[in-house]
Structure 1
Amino acid sequence: MNPVSSRARTPTARKLQLAALLRHLRERGGITQRDAGASVWPRSSAGSVQNKIARLESGDTGIEVDDLNRLLSVYGVEDGEIAELALRLQADTSQRGRWSGYRSIYSEPYRRYIDLEEDAALIRHVATEQIPELLQSRGYMEAEFPHGAGTPSATPHAIKARLARQEQVLFRDDPPQVHVVLSESCVRRVQGSKAVMRDQIEHIISLSKKWPNVVIQIVPFLPRPLRSTAIPETGILERFVLLRLAAPPLPGQEPGHLDFAFTRKGNELAWSDEVRHYETLWRRATTAALPPAETRLFLRDALYSFG
């Protein structure tokens, strides 16, 4: 794979790919953040330059082209392919104009998530109470925004935004792997009406059968007989998403990946640094859940409960 071809689509993901690349180059050279920053910005204080490199390596800030070239020189980058990759990742990281129209309804944390969702090679989602937005049918979305609720203009924009995300993620030519673990509460809690729920459940079954990149499992309220242990309560009652992005490979190295965790508290979405913790919860969730084929049988049985 050509490293440049792994460049992300969105400014947010490109900034994080650049952050990971620069951190790798600095650590490979055995250079501290303070020394790296002091070499590029010699007139700034030691604390200031260390903080700047730290923020750069976490994707919280960008870097000017001239400063990037100086930093690559400090890291001893002589490979033109690596320098080209870094410069291409640095280019066009502005979000200006990307969040107009119906997409402007999203908060800043959610915008960051949506960018990474679009660029993800793997999306792993644990959900309770409500079907995740990527898997929602239009009727289920409309039931969340009943006529007259909130500002009238927000309802169609919210639905258009979710449908656009589904097109960008699930139905594009090179879709990511999407693996979702649902608590049984997602398909028992009525949103709108029984007819809406029937349509929603049929939609999930159809997605899991039609699209090989979509895997859906359900954790029933009652574990199956002889099953080792049910998932610990904190593992299924806590909603979270793990997003995996491709890390552009360096010449002569195998492609790597970058993992990010997001948690949901009510309607709030938050970035989490506890990726390993949520990886553990994910393994427990998939172990406790029914396999995909059994999940489809379970969902077909659930249809009868809605008439």
Structure 2
Amino acid sequence: MPSRRVVTGRSQEPRRRFAEELRLLRGARGESLRQVGERLGLDPSTFGKMESGESLGSPEIVEALDQHYGTPGLLLTLWELALADPSQFREQYRRYMVLEAEAVSLWHYAVSAPPGLLQTPGYAREALAAGGLRGEDLNQQVEARMGRRKLLEGDNAPPFRVILSEAVLRTRLCDTEEWRAQLEHLAQTSESPNIKLQVLPFSAGPHGLMNTAVKFLRQLDGTTVAYTENDVRGELIQESSRVEHLQRTYDAVRDLALSPAESHKFVTRMLEEAPCEPST
């Protein structure tokens, strides 16, 4: 069987191919990054990062470039392939972390575990260890997760709304003492002025987020991005139509949830039912 012939010699790795195509198209037009930025009304550094592979940009920017270069759909297709590349999942999460630190308000829906922003050290350690982390790597990840909690502390903390599936409160840690500490922390934080915590009971029935944890971050410029997670992957979503669809789904789930006051009572009741560490 004859070997496969390389037709173009261009990169077959999705992210590199996308960046390469951007450089080739701009070179063919004889334009500088500044000229592209001026014509599209955007910062030239945005395009520089995209051409170097440092950033994929947003779908709106890519569509504008498709129109600018007269390549309808080509760049958007390459962008989607680059975004779907498994190697990009970790980078998307890093990008999410940056956006989380800059958010002016946050909304979460948790399927089976408390959001990292509400986890105690004991919960974080057991959960991360269950995922395979050990030794110093585990210590560093626990410390990093605890550092994120500072986002919700202080007078300038952003508003934070979280909906917890009842499964979050039913899935106990092996360490009963640490599990009680986690429930106590949830009960305490639900009384914070900037935090609205709601519980979605099992009795609410099927809904649109049964298998998907989702986080929304509203940015200073008024835009909102979303990050979804399931058992095998996470995805940073910036396309406005997709974010809006997720927000509508989130709103429908919120309508099914208990009120903040009822939710506080629910968490308190779970704490009363939680086993105690036997005395010695």
Using the size of structure 2 for normalisation, the TM-score is: 0.65
C-alpha deviation, 1:173, in angstroms: 3.9
1:271 aligned partner, one-letter code: L
C-alpha deviation, 1:199, in angstroms: 1.2
Q: Which moved more, 1:214-223 or 1:262-271?
A: 262-271
- Unaligned 5+ runs, structure 2: 1-24, 51-88, 276-280
Q: 2:30 maps to which residue?
A: 43
In 2, Cα distance between equivalents of 1:162 and 1:146: 13
Q: For the structure 1 residues 43 and 170, does the alpha-carbon distance in structure 2 shift closer, same or farther, using more than 3 Å as the test?
A: same
In 1, Cα distance between equivalents of 2:158 and 2:47: 25
Structure 1's consecutive aligned runs of 4 or more residues displaced over 3 angstroms after TM superposition are: 52-57, 59-63, 145-151
C-alpha deviation, 1:246, in angstroms: 1.4
Q: 2:265 maps to which residue?
A: 297
Q: 1:141 maps to which residue?
A: 124
Native 8 Å contact 1:179 1:215 kept in 2? yes
Alignment coverage as a number of residue pairs: 206
In 2, Cα distance between equivalents of 1:186 and 1:244: 25
SS of the counterpart of 1:108? helix
- Unaligned 5+ runs, structure 1: 1-36, 64-105, 224-229, 248-256
Select 1:237's aligned residue among 184, 188, 211: 211
Q: Indicate the percent of aligned positions where both proteins have the same amino acid.
A: 26
Q: 1:216 maps to which residue?
A: 197
C-alpha deviation, 1:213, in angstroms: 0.5
Select 1:109's aligned residue among 92, 113, 116: 92
1:205 aligned partner, one-letter code: A
C-alpha deviation, 1:268, in angstroms: 3.2
Q: For the structure 1 residues 117 and 306, does the alpha-carbon distance in structure 2 shift closer, same or farther, using more than 3 Å as the test?
A: same
SS of the counterpart of 2:99? helix
Q: 2:5 maps to which residue?
A: none
Native 8 Å contact 1:144 1:192 kept in 2? no
Deviations 1:215-255 (A, max 9, x none): 100000114xxxxxx5x4322432111110111xxxxxxxx
1:120 has 2:103 as partner = yes
Q: 2:145 maps to which residue?
A: 162
SS of the counterpart of 2:223? strand
In 1, Cα distance between equivalents of 2:98 and 2:29: 35
Select 1:152's aligned residue among 123, 132, 135: 135
In 2, Cα distance between equivalents of 1:263 and 1:136: 19
In 2, Cα distance between equivalents of 1:236 and 1:303: 24
Q: For the structure 1 residues 149 and 300, does the alpha-carbon distance in structure 2 shift closer, same or farther, using more than 3 Å as the test?
A: same
SS of the counterpart of 2:249? helix
Deviations 1:19-50 (A, max 9, x none): xxxxxxxxxxxxxxxxxx99xx96249xx959
C-alpha deviation, 1:299, in angstroms: 0.8
SS of the counterpart of 1:142? helix
CA RMSD of aligned residues (A): 3.3
Using the size of structure 1 for normalisation, the TM-score is: 0.59
In 2, Cα distance between equivalents of 1:292 and 1:147: 31
Select 2:220's aligned residue among 243, 246, 261: 246
Deviations 1:173-221 (A, max 9, x none): 4111100001000010112333222111110110111x21111000001
Native 8 Å contact 1:126 1:236 kept in 2? no
What pairs with 1:1-307 in structure 2 (closer than 5 Å)? 43-44=30-31, 53=40, 62=49, 107-146=90-129, 149-167=132-150, 169-209=151-191, 211-223=192-204, 230=205, 232-247=206-221, 257-266=222-231, 268-272=233-237, 273=239, 274-307=242-275
SS of the counterpart of 1:243? strand
In 2, Cα distance between equivalents of 1:132 and 1:148: 16
In 2, Cα distance between equivalents of 1:259 and 1:189: 31
Q: For the structure 1 residues 267 and 208, does the alpha-carbon distance in structure 2 shift closer, same or farther, using more than 3 Å as the test?
A: farther
